[in-house]
Structure 1
Amino acid sequence: MAQLTLKVVSLPANTPAGDAIYVAGSFQGWDPGAEDYKLTENADGSWQITIEPDPGLLKFKFTRGSWQTVEGNANGGFLPDRTHNYSGGPELLELEILGWEDLGGSNSTAADNVSVLDEDFYIPQLDRYRRIWIYLPPDYEDNPDQHYRVLYMHDGQNVFDESTSFAGEWEVDESLNDLFLDGDKGCIVVAIDNGADLRINEYSPWYNATYQAGGEGEAYVDFIVETLKPYIDSNFRTLPDRQHTGIMGSSLGGLISHYAMVEHPEVFGKVGVFSPAYWFNPEIYDHTAQNPIAEDTRLYLLAGQQEGNGSVVNDVNQMESVLLQSGFPSDNIEVKIDADGEHREWYWAREFPAAYLWLFEDVSVGIEEPEEEEDLTVFPNPADSLLNIRNCTAFRKPSYRLSNSDGKLLMKGKLRDCYIDVSGLPAGVYMLQICSGRKPVIEETIIIE
């Protein structure tokens, strides 16, 4: 008889007393709380279950009864599926559970003004539950008469906290807190966790026959529009109109953000599409052409040359052409292509502040900057040893980034003394970017002799 015993010999110290342990996997339909797959506690503190799966590759995870209480890595972050190639005979696997996603770890990087709104927010359109995070501006509690714009984001595990992320976080909370100190009036951010194995389905509007996945994107967007947004607008001091409502995501999250823009122009006036997976649902091109977008929508498209050997850049350029040919005004599209851009969270974290500021610049107030960018001057140019930055002290927390002509970042730092030592660089053409806080305020081509 085929019997496989899974024995958990160690649990995290913060495992709540009295909680049951379950196994969910490919052998039982991925049900996180099936009673038939609840482990039994042994006298020595270990937990075990014996199952009878078919031989072959098994995928599984341990939970405490739901996907919100699934096991994680030692920091409470995302842990890929466990795998085991089962022979079909009696076997014993002794395993350790390192952490739980809902309990996090001691290395949380989320700011104090980030919280979990609900561990189990119901999605009626899909009949499932999901963790929802919320970021409130630093002055939210002290400014009871202030109302705020709102940005909805996907892959909530990766938005604020390194310890719950799969491969790094976007640092949205740190970026917005810095911008607030620079004079930005603030923004509420609502981040929705992805559904792990359900992510592809939920973030794809159309079914992809090759990958046998997708098709729940419409229902997922309806959840945001019909259920989540009304809840947020009713319980927090928001500016609910489309000019103050944005949506943003990367990869498949970029795809579904674009789809939301097309389907609900009355809701989303600001859209950030980072490294979009248009290739997974190429129907998005015709759908965009056939459904003109509100002309006052602002769309920020980002792609890196290191993504898919340049294919993501090609897809973004194609989408820009579709939009322009359909009559969408060029002034309302910002396309940013980076030579060093990779399909990674570090890239999206770096680019978030500029995208946020561009999207909301027509409704932002109170940003303290010089009235004219030309007040800041870089000289001499050409240079051989030092680049002087005139009036850099007029900016708050000025910093710089210097890249070569291929876009590779060579130098960066704070402008404490209003000059940059370039004596160690070879002669050539370079691109200098100077920022106030995290916002780029000037980009200039520099020649070093």
Structure 2
Amino acid sequence: MSEIRKVVLAYSGGLDTSIILKWLEDTYHCEVVTFTADIGQGEEVEPARAKAQAMGVKEIYIEDLREEFARDYVFPMFRANAIYEGEYRLGTSIARPLIAKRLVEIANETGADAISHGATGKGNDQVRFELGAYALKPDVKVIAPWREWDLLSREKLMAYAEEHGIPVDFKKGKKSPYSMDANLMHISYEGGILEDPWAEPEEEMWRWTVAPEAAPDQPTLLELTYEKGDIVAIDGNPMTPAQVMELLNKVGGENGIGRDDLVENRYVGMKSRGCYETPAGAIMLRAHRAMESLTLDREVAHLKDELMPKYAEIIYNGYWWSPERQMMQKMIDASQENVNGKVRVKLYKGNVIIAGRQSDSDSLFDESIATFEDDAGAYDQKDAEGFIKLNALRLRIAARKRG
């Protein structure tokens, strides 16, 4: 502990990280640098500055990382159509490598000896933060208080806060019974009644989306413009990646898009039930596949689909900075060179409906060949007979052997 003189703490300004701040000072007798990131969680981050100052912190980092998060993490992930275990759109997972990167960078800038986070010893986030940190700074010291202290109940945390004069903001109002995490990609809910997989979520839990049955009776139409696999405009209006996500979250939420209730396999070995709201992600995933359906070669598309579960697992498990993810990303990005055009989506009562897709320069769809009408010789149907017989050869041989 004597080797730890300065620690960079991922600090939200909430109860847990405020307690961690004081605990680090008391346990390690060190100076604490706080880092608070705005990655689109929808809450003001500046109050964290006042809280950190009130606790005597001298070096305070408050950063708006929304554009970097959307551009360099979310958009590359969606070029791969990544989804974990067929359901989870990786909203929490994809935010962790960026936070890990900034923790390491700030540690280098300030000469800190260690970094610290508030992830518990039961979850995936501890793995994601620390794998990212070690990949970028191999000798970094990581302090994870939840794995060291004995403040393992809400009562003990409250008693520690009272003893050390740490403000407890949620006394001012009703506290949510759920553990929540939000960013531009999603908001997640765990704990409370959700610990029973049979219990249906309460309607008042959801914050970003209306219930599909309560959504407007008229659909919302959007036209998404793609360049190299990324949305660059909506309804003809150029937008940055973060602006795209903010708009899609708003419009998608109004139409009941993006609710998920699932049981997932955590990397640490247990199953966990969680609920998620991912309006922009639901729209982006559906629309991107529609754009690729016109512009990707069949075998390229199928190869991407074979690799996607592995790519998603890499992100879920915290290996964003690994050589295998970087290798796969280069291949995925290369596949997007001709994913250009427009997709029209219809949002209606929880559904993302593809209402049209076009690509003037890169479409591989040839109407003269695909038509059921007279194709004027573009495709000789007689060729199909030999194709079928060649592909049936092994099946016919096996059938004859069976008698």
Q: Tell me the TM-score normalized by structure 2.
A: 0.26
Q: Point out the structure with the larger strand share.
A: 1
Higher RCO (CA < 8 A, seq sep 6+)? 2
Q: Point out the structure with the larger helix share.
A: 2
Q: Tell me the TM-score normalized by structure 1.
A: 0.24
